[in-house]
């Protein structure tokens, strides 16, 4: 049987990908950020998942603003890195898992989550930067990926509560997949940040720390947060954190925090990462 053994939440700051692609990780600005990724890389290499269900948001790179699904799932064999204006990132093509993806589609749609089914999907920094953060720079990515994409870039976005419920439905769907498959689920985005307007550069460390604490111990508080709560306290782009709630909803009520990393600054944002294992 398939099993979700752990969840991972991480920021997906594009500049982190650029620093890796351009060999700048040892420069003073980046060194301690990347040192902090050592434990998660070690953990993931030991866990060796067969598949990662990777929940993220596109930034109008692969999905143009005139056609934005609220939730979408990639069912293809592979997903190429998107061109975000500077050419595609020089990272491996992401391998899909069509069998698991179609099983998720059937189970989720019957459970009331009508995801848009993407046969073709190019993946932007929301997906590729977390791959780089957690795997480094291998020739091939070490696991298959089922991408689940969430609209957080255009109003109205789904609620955090809806994202958490989607995670619970993913948990149920994976539990009914009969191939032996070790699954880890990622949620990417955040943490507090705003990249435009008067409050550009906003970072709220206290709020981020409380979010990380409660993700482990009291996710119901986070499920109750409104869009306005995120925008006021975590900045306009802090809303990306609703994607982490899909990951948390897919885990057991009781989880063990196995690693955490929080670093300021990374571009305009605080970079955060957490790994939670199912108890």
Kindly state the number of chain residues that form the binding site for ligand DHB, as judged by CB under 6 A: 13
DSSP-derived pairing of the beta strands 144-150 and 181-188: unpaired
Measured from the CB atom, the residue of 172 and 205 that comes closer to ligand DHB is 205
Active site residue 125: yes
Q: Which stretch binds ligand DHB (CB under 6 A): 133-141, 173-181, 213-221, 261-269?
A: 261-269
Verify binding: residue 268, ligand DHB, rule CB under 6 A. yes
- Strands laid side by side in the 116-118 sheet: 116-118, 71-74, 144-150, 51-56, 181-188, 2-10, 269-278, 255-266
Residue from 4, 6, 9, 14 binding ligand DHB (CB under 6 A):
14
Residue from 2, 4, 13, 245 binding ligand DHB (CB under 6 A):
13
Residue from 168, 216, 267, 278 binding ligand DHB (CB under 6 A):
267
Active site residue 196: no
What is the dihedral sign for C-alpha 132, 35, 272, 41?
positive
CA distance 223 to 246: 10
3-state SS assignment for residue 59: coil
Please list every residue from 33 through 62 that binds ligand DHB, using CB under 6 A: 59
> Comparing C-alpha atoms, which of 48, 30, 21, 42 is closest to residue 184?
48
* Residue burial 198-233, b: 16+ Cβ < 10 Å; e: rest: eeeebbbeebbeebbebbbeebeebbebebeebeeb
Side-chain half-sphere exposure of 180, counting CA atoms within 13 A: 0
Residue from 12, 103, 162, 261 binding ligand DHB (CB under 6 A):
12
**Which one of 12, 59, 125, 263 is the catalytic residue?**
125
Residue closest to ligand DHB (Cβ): 267
Backbone angles phi, psi at 211, to 5 degrees: -65, -45
Please list every residue from 192 through 221 that binds ligand DHB, using CB under 6 A: 193, 195
**Which one of 12, 59, 103, 193 is the catalytic residue?**
193
Shortest reach from residue 271's CB to ligand DHB, in Å: 9
Catalytic residues, by residue number, are: 125, 193
The residues that touch ligand DHB, with contacts defined as CB under 6 A, are: 12-15, 59, 189, 193, 195, 237, 240, 267-269
């Amino acid at each position: 049987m398939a099993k979700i053994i752990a969840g991972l939440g991480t920021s997906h700051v594009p500049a982190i990908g650029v620093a890796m692609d351009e060999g700048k990780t040892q420069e003073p600005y980046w060194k301690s950020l990347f040192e902090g990724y050592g434990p998660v890389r070690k953990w993931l290499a030991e866990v060796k998942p067969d598949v990662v269900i990777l929940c993220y948001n596109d930034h109008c790179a692969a999905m143009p603003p005139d056609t934005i699904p609220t939730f979408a799932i990639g069912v293809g064999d592979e997903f190429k890195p998107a061109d975000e204006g500077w050419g595609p990132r020089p990272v491996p093509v992401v391998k899909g898992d069509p069998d698991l993806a179609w099983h998720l589609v059937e189970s989720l749609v019957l459970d009331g989550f009508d995801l848009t089914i993407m046969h073709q999907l190019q993946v932007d920094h929301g997906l590729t930067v977390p791959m780089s953060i957690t795997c480094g720079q291998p020739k091939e990515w070490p696991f298959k990926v089922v991408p689940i994409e969430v609209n957080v870039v255009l109003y109205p976005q789904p609620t955090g509560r809806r994202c958490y419920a989607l995670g619970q439905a993913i948990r149920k769907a994976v539990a009914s997949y009969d191939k032996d498959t070790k699954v880890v689920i990622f949620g990417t985005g955040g943490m507090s940040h705003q990249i435009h307007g008067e409050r550009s550069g906003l970072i709220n460390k206290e709020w981020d720390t409380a979010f990380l604490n409660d993700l482990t111990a009291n996710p119901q508080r986070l499920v109750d947060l409104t869009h306005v709560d995120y925008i006021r306290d975590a900045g306009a782009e802090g809303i990306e954190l609703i994607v982490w709630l899909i990951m948390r909803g897919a885990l057991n009520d009781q989880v063990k925090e196995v690693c955490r990393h929080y670093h300021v600054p990374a571009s305009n944002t605080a970079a955060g990462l957490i790994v939670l294992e199912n108890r």
